[in-house]
Structure 1
Amino acid sequence: MAASYHARSNSLPSRQHPIVSQIDDNLNRLRASQSASTSSSIGHDLNGLQDLHEYVDVLLQFPLTQQALVQEKQREMVEELLDGSLMLLDVCTTARDALLQTKECTQELQSILRRRRGAEGLANEFRKYLTSRKAMKKAICKALKNLKHIQNKLGTPGENGAVISILRDVEAVTISVLESVLSFISGAGAESKSSRWSLVSKLMHQKKVMCEEEQKANEILSAEAAVRSCIKSENMKHVENVQKELQSSELSIQDLEEGLETLSRRMIKTRVTVLNIISC
């Protein structure tokens, strides 16, 4: 996860409190995970991020933490963090909408495949699925740009107190995890690698195989690839493969939806807590 992390001063409220160690441990684990590329690894990061925001909300209950946030010299940075949290919640909404749209198209296509006995006449249904995916990817592309905008703001921290430094670190890790989620949903990472490697496929066959394995690890992208293959060849064997891949994709989507829903609730809780502190 590419991000700037900042040293904390000794003014950290309740520095010896176990909650501070919990925050540091979770931050370090999420930083070390790098860019998650499978649904299980992304789900694990989402769970860690949920816990991290919960720990931060506990830290925000300490009187010294609240005193630090209401200092006039910290006001501008607090406002920037609140603006960033609002944008991150918008990104969460975009990700959840993309998952919902993909799930609905997946379920609709599964229903059609169950009703039809043969492969004939399914090309139009497959194309509808791919068209929906294409529209969803455009929305994700915009959300990824918004994440980059928030990340760029974190690049020049200046002098911050310990509490602000923690909140900035949490925001930076949240950006990285959400970037991994969006890239997984759209298949951006695996697709771009596939495109680059295809240019030198004869010389780099081994790397191409590695890329194909990475695509298989992405259930959503694997289902999309199966649909594309089926359009080229109306073969019943391919249709059966599509059904299998769509089922795996739906299960993966369900897990990510639940993870993002819980994360959004905890982010909102933290945001409300900060707003209440500075408005007192």
Structure 2
Amino acid sequence: MASSALNQKSNFHVRSNSLPSRPHPLVTQIDEHLCRLKSNESASSSSSSMTQNLSCLRDLYELVDNLLQLPAIQKSLAQECNDKQVNELLNGSLKLLDVCGVVKDALLQAKEDTKQLQSILRRRRGDEVGFTKEAKEYLASRKKAKKSINKSLKVCKSGFTQLENDGEATFSMLREVEGITFTVFESLFSYISGTKMESKSTKWSLVSKLMSSKRVTCDGEATETNGFEKVDAVLCALIGNKTRKSGKIGSDDAQLELQKLESSSQDLEDGVECLLRLLIKIRVSVLNILSQ
């Protein structure tokens, strides 16, 4: 995972002469959200952790939007940022909008594909052989989505440069928020991509491991498995006719995992859509401030 501007210490309120010696409450809250998101970087890549991070990120952007309404912050940002810093900030926000759109499209496509597979499974209940073609098409669509995500991720990485230690405080804060946003997107990309399965033996080993894993309990004691990875593994097993030999995995298992994946994909899509609107809102606010 990229570490350029993502893991810098949040100390933007110390560097600004425009802010009082005691940080504004909004600054303190922004710091707390940044620290919370950074501490979640090592958390398991599951639907619940992704949803939680998106929710925290949404709250962070709402705090940033409120901070940008303060006259002292607007004056500081407009007067103290040079052209290079302005370009870095705006280019970073633009790249985040692009990559946010890519991940939204990937989640939408995944949700539609899972719906279609569930419909086909219901019509061909018990007919794993007749289901093979549709399962292969789903996996091919997943492969295409992974390529699009990886390409977008590579482009996005190039847009984030090292934070300057002597940067204006509000600028540094916005750049740090962009950086942590990229971290969340990178984790979400990893979740959607799932685990690459190298061989048939690896596929079946993964299926056995996934299907025997514990479900997540209400108090969160058990470990949640990546839903995309689990569906991929089950479908690969069905295509390889492993179910008839083992008697452990069948179309009912696929139906169950597809239902869960559709639900989690919808939750993530809603979170990304909300975040996309906030990204646009913050970008417009910054543009308005800089144009004054």
* Common fold: TM-score over 0.5: yes
Secondary structure at the aligned position of 2:23 is classed as: coil
Per-residue Cα deviation, 1:219-260 (whole angstroms, up to 9, x for no partner): 121111111100111649511111111011101101100110
Distance 1:137 1:32, change over 3 A: same
3-state DSSP of counterpart to 1:117: coil
- Specify the SS of the correspondent of 2:166: coil
Task: Find the residue that maps to 1:121 and give its secondary structure.
Answer: helix
2:81/2:171 contact within 8 Å kept: no
Is the aligned partner of 1:122 residue 2:131? yes
SS at match of 1:257: helix
Q: What are structure 1's unaligned runs of at least 5 residues? A: 200-204
Say which SS state the counterpart of residue 8 (structure 2) adopts: coil
SS for the counterpart of 2:88 is helix
| Separation in 2, partners of 1:10, 1:112 | 60
Percent identity over the alignment is 44
Aligned equivalent of 1:24, options 10, 18, 31: 31
2:265 is aligned, of 227, 249, 253, to 253
Higher helix share: 1
Correspondence 1:2-21 to 2 at 5 A: 2=3, 3-6=6-9, 7-8=11-12, 9-13=15-19, 16-21=23-28
* More displaced stretch, 64-73 vs 34-43: 64-73
Out of 143, 147, 150, which is 1:138 matched to?
147
In the TM superposition, what are the counterparts of 1:14-163 in structure 2 within 5 Å?
Answer: 16-36=23-43, 37-71=45-79, 73-119=81-127, 120-151=129-160, 153=161, 155-163=162-170
Structure 2 counterparts to residues 142-221 of structure 1, below 5 A: 142-151=151-160, 153=161, 155-187=162-194, 190-191=195-196, 217-221=225-229
TM-score by length of 2: 0.83
One-letter code aligned to 1:108: Q
Aligned residue identity for 1:220: F
CA distance in 2, matches of 1:159, 1:173: 20
- Say whether the 8 Å CA contact 2:46–2:224 is kept in structure 1: no
Q: Mark the runs of 5 or more structure 2 residues left unpaired by the alignment.
A: 215-222
Q: How far did residue 13 of structure 1 move?
A: 3.1
**Partner Cα distance (1:117, 1:150) in 2:** 48
Alignment root-mean-square deviation, CA: 2.6
Q: Distance in 2 between matches of 1:55 and 1:156?
A: 21
